[in-house]
Amino acid sequence: MDIKDIPTLDDVARLVEAADTVLAQALTHGRELTEKGRRIDDHQVHCERLAYLATELAAARSLLAYTRAQAAAAPDPIVSHMAFAFAAEVVQRLRGAIDAQAPAFGPIDAAALGNAEVRTLVAAALDDARMCAIGAEQISRRGVNNCWLPDELATMSRESVRAFARSEVAPLAERIHRHDELVPDAIIAKMAELGYFGMAAPEEYGGGGMGNLVMILTTEELSVASLAAAGSLITRPEILTKALVKGGTDAQKRKWLPPVAAGQLMVGISVTEPDTGSDVASIQCRAEPAEVGGVRGYVINGAKAWCTFAGRANVLALLARTNPDARLGAKGLSLFIVEKDAFDGHAFEMRQPHGGVLSGKADATPGYRGMHSYTLNFENYFVPAENLIGEQAGEGKGFYLQMGGFAAGRLQTGGRATGLAQAALETTTAYANDRKQFGRPIGEFQLTQQKIGRMATHIAAARHLTYDAARTMDEDESRALEAAQAKLFASDVAVWVTQEGQLLHGGWGYAEEFPISRHVVDALVLPIFEGVKPILELKVIARALLA
Ligand X SMILES: Cc1cc2nc3c(=O)[nH]c(=O)nc-3n(C[C@H](O)[C@H](O)[C@H](O)COP(=O)(O)OP(=O)(O)OC[C@H]3O[C@@H](n4cnc5c(N)ncnc54)[C@H](O)[C@@H]3O)c2cc1C
Q: Please state the closest distance from residue 252 (CB atom) to ligand X, in A.
A: 21
Q: Which residue is nearest to ligand X (CB)?
A: 277
Q: Please state the closest distance from residue 317 (CB atom) to ligand X, in A.
A: 9
Site string for ligand X, 281-320 (x = CB under 6 A): -------------------------xxx------------
The interface with ligand X within residues 25-54 (CB under 6 A) comprises 44
Q: Are 311 and 376 in contact (CB under 8 A)?
A: no
Angle (deg, nearest 10), helices 481-504 and 446-475 = 160
Q: Please state the closest distance from residue 297 (CB atom) to ligand X, in A.
A: 22
Rank residues 310 and 425 by Cβ distance to ligand X and give the closer one. Answer: 310
DSSP per position, 454-473? HHHHHHHHHHHHHHHHHHHH
Q: Does residue 512 carry a catalytic annotation?
A: no
278 binds ligand X (CB under 6 A): yes
Rank residues 232 and 517 by Cβ distance to ligand X and give the closer one. Answer: 232
Q: Please state the closest distance from residue 504 (CB atom) to ligand X, in A.
A: 26
Q: Are 297 and 255 in contact (CB under 8 A)?
A: no
Stretch that binds ligand X, among 143-151, 174-182, 384-392, 531-539 (CB under 6 A): 531-539
User: How open is the CA angle 213-219-224, to the nearest 5 degrees?
Assistant: 125
* Cα 487 to chain centroid, rounded: 4
**CB neighbour burial string for 428-448, b if at least 16 within 10 angstroms, e if fewer:** bbebbeebeeeeeebbbbeeb
- Distance, CA of 299 to CA of 291 (rounded, Å): 9
- Pick one of 66, 86, 205, 368: the residue that binds ligand X (CB under 6 A): 368
User: How open is the CA angle 203-338-209, to the nearest 5 degrees?
Assistant: 10
- Distance, CA of 410 to CA of 430 (rounded, Å): 30
The alpha-helical segments, DSSP class H, found in 128-249 are: 128-141, 152-164, 170-178, 185-193, 212-225, 235-247
Neighbour count for residue 77 (Cβ, 10 Å): 17
- Pick one of 220, 336, 529, 537: the residue that binds ligand X (CB under 6 A): 529
Start-to-end CA distance of the chain, whole Å, equals: 45
366 binds ligand X (CB under 6 A): no
Rank residues 258 and 329 by Cβ distance to ligand X and give the closer one. Answer: 329
Site string for ligand X, 342-361 (x = CB under 6 A): --------------------
Q: Please state the closest distance from residue 226 (CB atom) to ligand X, in A.
A: 15
The interface with ligand X within residues 253-272 (CB under 6 A) comprises 269-272
Rank residues 126 and 524 by Cβ distance to ligand X and give the closer one. Answer: 524
The phi and psi torsions of 478 (rounded to 5 degrees) equal -85, -5
418 binds ligand X (CB under 6 A): no
Q: Please state the closest distance from residue 192 (CB atom) to ligand X, in A.
A: 20
Stretch that binds ligand X, among 14-22, 352-360, 388-396, 534-542 (CB under 6 A): 534-542
373 binds ligand X (CB under 6 A): yes
277 binds ligand X (CB under 6 A): yes
Rank residues 277 and 390 by Cβ distance to ligand X and give the closer one. Answer: 277
Stretch that binds ligand X, among 113-121, 164-172, 386-394, 527-535 (CB under 6 A): 527-535
Q: Is 288 exposed, middle or buried (0-12, 13-18, 19+ CB in 10 A)?
A: middle
Neighbour count for residue 296 (Cβ, 10 Å): 11
Stretch that binds ligand X, among 255-263, 328-336, 339-347, 530-538 (CB under 6 A): 530-538
Q: Please state the closest distance from residue 371 (CB atom) to ligand X, in A.
A: 8
The interface with ligand X within residues 112-131 (CB under 6 A) comprises none
Q: Is 365 exposed, middle or buried (0-12, 13-18, 19+ CB in 10 A)?
A: middle
Number of residues lying near ligand X (CB under 6 A): 22
Rank residues 136 and 222 by Cβ distance to ligand X and give the closer one. Answer: 222
- Pick one of 156, 326, 532, 547: the residue that binds ligand X (CB under 6 A): 532
**CB neighbour burial string for 203-230, b if at least 16 within 10 angstroms, e if fewer:** eebbbbebbbbbbbbbbbbbbbbbbbbb
The interface with ligand X within residues 145-164 (CB under 6 A) comprises none
Q: Please state the closest distance from residue 196 (CB atom) to ligand X, in A.
A: 19
Of the candidates 137, 238, 530, 537, the residue annotated as catalytic is 530
- Distance, CA of 25 to CA of 44 (rounded, Å): 18
For CA atoms 13, 15, 21, 24, give the dihedral sign.
negative
Q: Please state the closest distance from residue 348 (CB atom) to ligand X, in A.
A: 16
Binding residues for ligand X, rule: CB under 6 A, are: 44, 269-272, 277-278, 306-308, 365, 368, 373, 525, 528-532, 534-535, 538
Instruction: State the catalytic residues.
Output: 530
